[in-house]
Amino acid sequence: MTAPSANADKTLETIRAALAPHGLFLRGTVNFASGEAAPLLSDGRPAASVVLIGNIGGSLWQPFSAWRDGLSDRGGADPLDTWSKAVIQPIAAACGATAYFPSDPPWQPFQQWAMRAEGLKPSPLGILIHTRYGLWHGYRGALAFRMPLAETGERATEHPCDNCLGKPCISACPVGAVADERFDVGLCRSHLRTDAGRAGCLTSGCISRAVCPVGSRYRYPPEQLRFHMSALEV
């Protein structure tokens, strides 16, 4: 595998600076070995690397909300996806990268990339848990490059759930949708349609997510919690 060049380091700094006003960060890098499955660049060749872009805590909420408030249609059916593309696609064009998004085909293995880049593992809720940010982070897109890139973000050395004996996220769910090896999305959605669900998780955020002690200071603001929960209500 070719080592990252000085030009690659400069590219990462340029991207980091362009993302900052939008509350987005470089979250991790995956460099692909020759012959390894990799996303395709716009010219049809396999990428040498991808860099993941995402939020930390509620970092994106204020920029996203300001953008959304300025639109007559409030950003359409999937405003966060639309905003993410509006921010990331111009950056990709400026630095000669190909942009990929979790919401768009061809579907890319974002969770696998994140686990590889940051050493994360899934929590019982299915969300990848970070040793510092806990369950309060996300991935909004990725940039694929023809050149290798230096590592970005933090790499976990342990999995917080392995050392969590009480597993409060499991016992806190009012309908038992959370278990050690699965998250029952259908059961969760059914609960959100009830009066108890609307008054509880839908309004204040997932109870199971909130009781996790890891990264609690990065918890999303109330408005962002309601926004994300509303997607499960559909």
pLDDT tens per residue, range 22-76:
999 999 999 999 999 999 999 999 999 999 999 999 999 999 999 999 998 988 8
Task: Report the alpha-carbon distance of residue 94 to residue 96 in Å, rounded.
Answer: 6
Mean per-residue pLDDT, 208-232: 95
**pLDDT score of 1:** 52
Task: Report the alpha-carbon distance of residue 77 to residue 84 in Å, rounded.
Answer: 14
Question: How do the domains of the chain map onto residue ranges?
Answer: 6-159, 164-233
Question: Which of 224, 23, 28, 16 has its CA nearest to residue 111?
Answer: 28
pTM of this structure: 0.93
Dihedral angle computed from the Cα positions of residues 212, 188, 178 and 114, in that order, rounded to the nearest 10 degrees? -70
Q: Are 25 and 55 spatial neighbours (Cβ–Cβ below 8 Å)? A: yes
Per-residue pLDDT tens digits for 133-148: 999 999 999 999 999 9
